[in-house]
Amino acid sequence: MPSRYFKGDSRMFEEEYEIQELIGEGSFAKVYKCIEKESGKTFAVKELQIGQKVSDMEAIREEIETWKDLQHENIVSLHRTFIDNSSFYLVCEYLDSGSLFDEIVGQKVYSEEQARSIMTQVRSYSCNSLVFIVFNLLQQLGI
């Protein structure tokens, strides 16, 4: 893999982490719960299959570079990265509380107060995170 696309850890993911279970799956990646063997800490790992197109590689590289620079309490943090012949592995903070979607679907009826509380939190987190991201992008652009 040309280094211009990805500078990952030279060690293999499997040497340092043990996959526990699949916790999510999308069109381009699978996310697993994993344990760091040395520390026993729990992480999530996003496994992205390496595509043949340069545009796919560039999109993955951009995701990694952007994620590395984002350190905010409302954004899952990137811990480490690995690459092998078939996949990229993005080891990140693990949140065991599940997704907002699962929470909403799991409860059939919401009171007005519950709905207000959830939307207030989403709005607050989204606005704070968006301001943080825009501020960092402006700094990178020198504006």
Cα–Cα distance for residue pair 7/5, rounded to 1 Å:
7
Its pTM surpasses 0.75: no
C-alpha closest to that of 133 among 81, 107, 59, 125: 125
**For residue range 73-87, what is the model confidence (pLDDT) as tens digits?**
767 888 888 888 788
**For residue range 18-64, what is the model confidence (pLDDT) as tens digits?**
999 999 888 778 999 999 999 999 999 999 887 766 667 777 777 77
pLDDT recorded at residue 107 = 75
Cα–Cα distance for residue pair 88/19, rounded to 1 Å:
15
